[in-house]
Amino acid sequence: MKNLKIISDEKIREITGSFNLPIYVYDEKTLLESAKKVINFPNAYGLTPRYAIKALSTAVILKLFNEHGLHFDASSGYEIERAIRIGIAPEKIQLTSQKLPNNLEEFVKKGVIFNATSLFQLESYGKLFPDKNISIRINPGMGSGHVKRVNVGGPSSSFGIWKDDIPQAKQIAKKYNLKINKLHTHIGSGTNPNIWKKVAKLSLNTVKLFPDVHTLNLGGGFKIAHSDHEKTTDIQNTGNVIKDIFISFYKETGRRIKLEIEPGNYLVTKSGILITKIIDKNYTGKDGYNFIKINSGITEITRPAMYGSIHSMYIIKNNENKNKETEDTLVVGHCCESGDILTPEINDPEELEPVKLKKSEIGDHLVIENIGGYCSSMSFSNYNSFPQAGELLLKVDGNLKVIRKRQTMEQIIQNEIIS
């Protein structure tokens, strides 16, 4: 797999000599470059770029994005709480959640924007806040994604008010005198500008049904490559395609619609690596495989097991030499779980596919790339009672900053009641 080298081998060796492994490392320069691209996303009549907190929710990352002009999308009340606690203004946060928080009323009164994702949520909001503005999420009847598990649109998705239920949504809004002034949709991951073009047209056609809507949120799903067999979305090109559709809509209707987007993966994935240690090797015969076992796995990076995602990776040897010998090997995690595999077959997560890596020994290090998004925040924390890994930020000035300490056993069991 292609070696992207976001962080130098020299810096990685410095980290392996100073910190417990496994450990996440994020590159501040890459984070800021991604934020700049998103903030400059092409638009016709205004833009609010939101960061999807669920992608990586560590406080320092949220503060960094807040300071550089991003707004936020929260997927739960708990994400709202952690954002407010570090100083993010409530009015910069929008809640789009499968589950209504018990303290929704408190959040909205503070200024959090609520986006109803079902008829029940719309009714619940109406009871609490009659005569107010509301944003609603619509399932447009289509979706996109490399596997069904990342597809958040269409008939197999529970996200959003189904397109045929729009009349019921309007009846509920009328019942509570709610003004629907924002519309939200999200179809999943994709790089094809033609899909975004189709979605923008479809969504703007829905906007026609709501005369008070001034803002359309097209969600996230801007695909980012995790290995060299994938492509990263050209958001400048995609943005220009969407911009043209908004301009055409204005020419047709006289309505200037503001755009919102809410990428998560796109903002953080390329910034991160996971540094692990090779703890064992195994061989299952001529008809089997070579295995590398690392001191990490689904406890830090769940995506390969959950989605069949493939991440580029490479070996850092303790005793570097000019030997370029390689081996085909499967990489497995440290959990007592047959699904803890980091090298699934491309396009078939049920199968295995060895990767070619520099020949390694027990004690060498394996670096997994492109783990900034949906890894630390979406891991099987404490499975097999392994502690949460620590997190580092490589600052622009080259210094390392601890942004989350490694969890201790005392912290793992602190809420258990023995007697």
Tell me whether residue 336 is one of the annotated catalytic residues: yes
Q: HEC states along the chain?
A: CCCCCCCCHHHHHHHHCCCCCCEEEEEHHHHHHHHHHHHCCCCCCCEEEEEEHHHCCCHHHHHHHHHCCCEEEECCHHHHHHHHHCCCCHHHEEECCCCCCCCHHHHHHHCCEEEECCHHHHHHHHHHCCCCEEEEEEECCCCECCCHHHECCCCCCCCCEEHHHHHHHHHHHHHCCCEEEEEECCCECECCHHHHHHHHHHHHHHHCCCCCCCEEECCCCECCCCCCCCCCCCHHHHHHHHHHHHHHHHHHHCCCCEEEECCCHHHHHHHEEEEEEEEEEEECCCCCCEEEEECCCCCCCCHHHHHCCCCCEEEECCCCCCCCCEEEEEEECCCCCCCCECCEECCEEEEECCEEEECCCCCCEEEEECCCCCCHHHCCCCHHHCCCCEEEEECCCCCEEEEECCCCHHHHHCCCCCC
Query: Which is catalytic among the residues 336, 409, 417, 418?
Result: 336
Planar angle of CA 263, 269, 270, nearest 5 degrees: 120
Q: Who's near 317: CB < 8 A, 6+ residues apart? A: 358, 360, 361, 364, 365
- Per residue in 322-338, is it b (16+ CB within 10 Å) or e — as a string? eeeeeeebbbbbbbebe
On whether the CB atoms of residues 78 and 100 are closer than 8 A, the answer is: no
Q: Closest Cα partner for 412 from 376, 386, 377?
A: 386
Q: Catalogue the active-site residues.
A: 336
